[in-house]
Structure 1
Amino acid sequence: MNEERIALIVDDEPGHRMMVRAVLEDDGWTVLEAESGERALTVLAEEAESDTYPDVAMVDMKMPGMDGMQLLKELQVRRPSMPVVLLTAFGSVGSAVDAMKRGAFDYLTKPADNDELTAVLGKAFEYHKLLDENARLRAEVGSEPDFIGASPGIELVRNLVGQAGPTEATVLILGPSGTGKELVAEGLHKASLRADKPLIKVNCAALPDDLLESELFGYEKGAFTGAVKDKPGRFQLADGGTLFLDEIGEMPAPLQAKLLRALQEKTVEPLGSVRTVQVDTRIIAATNRNLKKEVEAGRFREDLYYRLAVLEIRIPPLCERKEDLPLLVSFLLRRLGNKNNKIIRTVTPAFLDALSGYDWPGNVRELENVLERALILSRSDALGPDLLPPQITGARENVIDMEFNHVGRPAPTPANLEEAEKQAIIQALEENGNHRERTAEALGISRRTLQYKLKKYGLTRR
């Protein structure tokens, strides 16, 4: 059974509205019409009373009274999850591009090509569904969830934390830097029966070997130069609670042996002391290394590995769960907005598209830095791709692969670059039956960029 799709067409030209209605109804849409911006707001209010709303709005830029830009602003306030596609004359494309920076989903030039019309509105509908699903998930997980996302990898992490949290099992958290291993450790502690006791954290990579030992096990007065009084170690501070050993793979071999003994006997021996101290501490460890390979290479004790890895929780890198990007972006922007006293109400589809095209070697930590940069640089309450750094947008700035590998041509020189680009587009059009959507995909560019190139090279009649 096909799901209902409702489009609101706002255009002061009856003939164009009639054409758009015919095309969309043939494609299975339910179509609402308005001849002005003012009438469009009335239609929205009427539909709200019957508890139905348009999924997508198509708005003419030039209308008497309230024009397309003014209506876009109103719709963003009244129906922020409803994508708005703008209709513009070719000579006004610059205004449409500016509108996209302000949050419009896309634009079409009049008269709209039928294939482009159905393709763009179809994508807008999918985007609308995604925003609604994100809102539903945010409501389910609450205002400050532990793990952001609904991908299979994050669902598995969430389930394992829920199962392992209430136990006393030692847990080993695996994942690249920046994926949120510390967040998982906090989730395990909060889900445990030790939640009212301390969670003590130690970064094993951040401390020199001798200092790490004294930090973990403590020392007595006179144990070494500068030890002017007794100091309890992190094991003792975490007594009754949880000790989180981050970057456990960086721990030197002599200290691994002492840690193994502490885990087995639940006792520690402070530096300079001949006595042992009983401790009741749950251990959670994390690493971005492959500890099995470290064991094989002789750099990590096998017995300690099996003592730590009673349960392993692997956090997938961001490149493996890009479907979580909209949720992550929404959550992080809300938190960063509070931090920087700045509200970002929306991001453009092109912004999300650019984020999805990047592999995120720095994972969620890198995403947070990129979003904070964009938020700070933004002069409006909407984020567009122009606010992203070059490492994310750089691959997209060269809108067609300059080596034209997709058509088997050698790299052109600057002198014949435009001609080579034109010929590449012509060949791609021929190979795809002049279908613009498939041609854009074959070239690795957006439909909007293809439309611009077709007009630039006089190919619009093909």
Structure 2
Amino acid sequence: MNILIIDDETNIRKTLALCLEADGHRVTAVASSKDAQAEAGRQVFDLAFVDLRLGTESGLDLIPALLGIAPWLKLVVITAYASVDTAVEAMRRGAADYLAKPFTPGQVRLVTERAAALRRMEQRINSWSRRAKAPFATISCPSLSADLLESELFGHAQGAFTGTLRDQPGRAAACEGGTLFLDEIGELPPALQPKLLRFIQEREYERVSDPRTRRADVRILAATNADLDKAVREGRFREDLYYRLNVIPIDLPPLCERPDDVEAIAEELLRFFGAQNRKLFTGFSPAALHALRQHSWPGNLRELRNAVERAAILCPAQEVGPEHLPASVAPRPAQLQLGDRASLKAVEEQHIRRVIAACRTLQEAADVLGIDQATLWHKRKVYGI
């Protein structure tokens, strides 16, 4: 992290800077409120340690000033005159933590790690955007015809289509000040592409069958599975619109190119669908995780989501096994019949799998099999069930 220290004592500045730099942080140390505000205007800091007494100045007064320059800044108040009243007042003015002198390197590390965790969380969400509290809407470009898509995006006047009895404002107006997400932008009809380009560049548009020009301040996000470079070369997608949309591209490789992410995403989806189905899962069995890692996921995230949702619905136990995953993900072994040329171990494994799949609980499965739960647990571990 980039850290600012504001303290009028030279020894404190040096000691605190050495402690923080030893943990790999970048540190700038100043002695006055004026210098602190100047540095905050020049650099982006994640964390600031602010002494409450800066000569004749008050560190409490500096807190709102720094937050006015950098609202994301995490402020830790440090003082040799610690009291409940000063702590409460510091927090009221926007401080995130409080550190009393004399402090140890361990205490400094602890408050720094707390601030770092908070910054990491904030940097993943939309909360610092001025559009965070404004509307967010999604339009799926392939799901509508060209006329209906234009109406959905820009709206239409009364009588624009058969049966339309009133004006429809459209998503552009509804998302004023917010964000509009255009999914599968590669499927945008050619006739609508110049209108979208104008809207992005000039923030102007007209509703269908309404000559009045309107304006809207909307941020545009777009996603596509299509190769837009190829579409531009083939004349199916406007080059100027492509470059206007391609300001900050984020390339997300398919799951087959990042197998290490499959387990983490699947676990998160299992928690989500478990909550929806009022179930508490401990996770996937080793065999199920192996199947998830080995699958190529041609359907990408949608396929993984559907596979985990299915498992969450069908699994009666706390641990999801390969038998709860689709056969395309975890191929089923050939079904054995009594008298087949197979080992007793293979027959036992398939029988246990079938009984568990047919029972609502593991206790019920153990009762059907005529064994106790401890024995069933051991056999499940042996067979990777």
User: Does the C-alpha gap of structure 1 residues 325 and 222 become closer, same or farther in structure 2, counting only changes over 3 Å?
Assistant: closer
Structure 1 residue 227 displacement after superposition: 2.6
2:182 is paired with a residue whose SS is strand
**TM-score normalised over the length of structure 1:** 0.45
Of the three residues 241, 249, 273, the one matched with 1:336 is 273
1:379 equivalent in alignment to 2:379: no
Check conservation: 2:157, 2:168, Cα contact below 8 A.
Answer: yes
Check conservation: 1:218, 1:232, Cα contact below 8 A.
Answer: yes
The one-letter code matched in structure 2 to 1:200 is A
Residue equivalent to 2:160: 223
Of the three residues 191, 214, 221, the one matched with 1:277 is 214
1:298 equivalent in alignment to 2:235: yes
Q: Distance in 2 between matches of 1:384 and 1:227?
A: 52
1:365 equivalent in alignment to 2:311: no
Residue equivalent to 1:262: 199
Check conservation: 1:318, 1:360, Cα contact below 8 A.
Answer: yes
Structure 1 residue 190 displacement after superposition: 4.6
Check conservation: 1:334, 1:344, Cα contact below 8 A.
Answer: yes
Check conservation: 1:244, 1:283, Cα contact below 8 A.
Answer: yes
Check conservation: 1:322, 1:356, Cα contact below 8 A.
Answer: yes
Check conservation: 2:263, 2:293, Cα contact below 8 A.
Answer: no
User: Does the C-alpha gap of structure 1 residues 141 and 326 become closer, same or farther in structure 2, counting only changes over 3 Å?
Assistant: farther
Structure 1 residue 204 displacement after superposition: 0.8
Check conservation: 1:243, 1:282, Cα contact below 8 A.
Answer: yes
Residue equivalent to 2:291: 354
The one-letter code matched in structure 1 to 2:260 is E
Q: Distance in 2 between matches of 1:326 and 1:296?
A: 38
Note the residue ranges of structure 1 that are not aligned, 5 or more in a row.
Answer: 1-139, 147-161, 163-186, 399-451, 453-462
Structure 1 residue 391 displacement after superposition: 1.2
**TM-score normalised over the length of structure 2:** 0.53
Q: Percent identity?
A: 49
Q: Distance in 1 between matches of 2:178 and 2:265?
A: 30
Structure 1 residue 348 displacement after superposition: 1.6
Residue equivalent to 2:249: 312
Check conservation: 2:256, 2:297, Cα contact below 8 A.
Answer: yes
User: Does the C-alpha gap of structure 1 residues 353 and 141 become closer, same or farther in structure 2, counting only changes over 3 Å?
Assistant: farther
Note the residue ranges of structure 2 that are not aligned, 5 or more in a row.
Answer: 1-115, 335-382
Residue equivalent to 2:150: 213
Alignment of 1:85-100 (within 5 A): none
Residue equivalent to 2:170: 233
Q: Distance in 2 between matches of 1:330 and 1:224?
A: 47
RMSD, aligned CA: 2.9
2:177 is paired with a residue whose SS is coil
Higher relative contact order (CA 8 A, sep 6+): 1
Q: Distance in 2 between matches of 1:197 and 1:322?
A: 36
User: Does the C-alpha gap of structure 1 residues 189 and 219 become closer, same or farther in structure 2, counting only changes over 3 Å?
Assistant: farther
The one-letter code matched in structure 2 to 1:356 is R
Check conservation: 1:189, 1:242, Cα contact below 8 A.
Answer: no
1:311 is paired with a residue whose SS is coil
Structure 1 segments of 4 or more deviating over 4 A? 187-191
The one-letter code matched in structure 1 to 2:139 is V
Residue equivalent to 1:407: none
Alignment of 1:98-137 (within 5 A): none
Residue equivalent to 2:130: 193
Q: Distance in 2 between matches of 1:349 and 1:233?
A: 49
User: Does the C-alpha gap of structure 1 residues 392 and 232 become closer, same or farther in structure 2, counting only changes over 3 Å?
Assistant: same
2:262 is paired with a residue whose SS is helix
